[in-house]
Chain A
Amino acid sequence: AQSVSQHNHHVILSEAASLELGCNYSYGGTVNLFWYVQYPGQHLQLLLKYFSGDPLVKGIKGFEAEFIKSKFSFNLRKPSVQWSDTAEYFCAVTTTGGFKTIFGAGTRLFVKA
């Protein structure tokens, strides 16, 4: 069965620090990859997605993620975090042609002002 593993459950950073959140998935075929974010008191929303092409994808608010097929990874990065990035981040995967999205357990990021 497909699964998504997020390495860190909680991350605490100071403003301006760099961020990298790990994500690995288990599926041998072609996948589509997503990062969703849930800000405090808000609904889940899409941060960025990878379907094909350039494995380095850029999303909103300065976030980017790199798909490394050989490592089954799709890590999320941001060079300099802000207090407003405090949120919970979910990595997710669908198989090509599939409608079911499989989510990881989420990583809670707290950014100290």
Chain B
Amino acid sequence: EAGVTQFPSHSVIEKGQTVTLRCDPISGHDNLYWYRRVMGKEIKFLLHFVKESKQDESGMPNNRFLAERTGGTYSTLKVQPAELEDSGVYFCASSPGQTPNEKLFFGSGTQLSVL
């Protein structure tokens, strides 16, 4: 069974540019989550999709961040325009169904560096 995959694994961009991160969850997983970890700090929740619907986007930092999950399959997280403080590792995770508190299956993350 394929795991959660994220693209790219690394991205280096300049301040003001746009970056789009992609996450492919495990097939059949309705729940998809985005998390971010700034160096050395906690892994912070950004948002939660159930299928194609945003269930909770309380962790999105500001309107420079836009997440989509068209068709309820893969998801993209766009940062436009990127700022220095957006640097960090962006993790995607998925879980199967409607039961809360399930364990999360994580991707390997995208390391974003904004210069």
Residues of A within 8 A of B (CB): 4, 9, 32, 34, 36, 42-46, 49, 51, 90, 94, 96-106
Contact = CB atoms under 8 A, between A and B. Distances in A.
Given A44-B106, A99-B55, A100-B56, A94 B43 contact: no
A92 to B, nearest CB: 8
5 closest A-B pairs (Cβ-Cβ)? Answer: A103-B43, A44-B106, A46-B103, A105-B42, A32-B101
Given A98-B101, A103-B35, 7 more contacts: A43-B3, A97-B100, A99-B33, A100-B58, A101-B45, A104-B42, A105-B41
B91 interface: yes
A101 to B, nearest CB: 6
B109 interface: yes
B101 A96 contact: yes
A10 to B, nearest CB: 10
B108 A43 contact: yes
Chain A CB within 10 A, most for which of B3, B42, B109: B42
9 contacts: A42-B108, A46-B104, A96-B101, A99-B101, A100-B59, A101-B33, A102-B45, A103-B42, A103-B43
Given A9-B40, A94-B101, A105-B40, A100 B45 contact: yes
B22 interface: no
Interface residues of B, number: 26
A112 to B, nearest CB: 22
A44 B91 contact: yes
Interface of B: 3-4, 31, 33, 35, 40-45, 48, 55-56, 58-59, 91, 93, 100-101, 103-104, 106-109
A61 B18 CA distance: 42
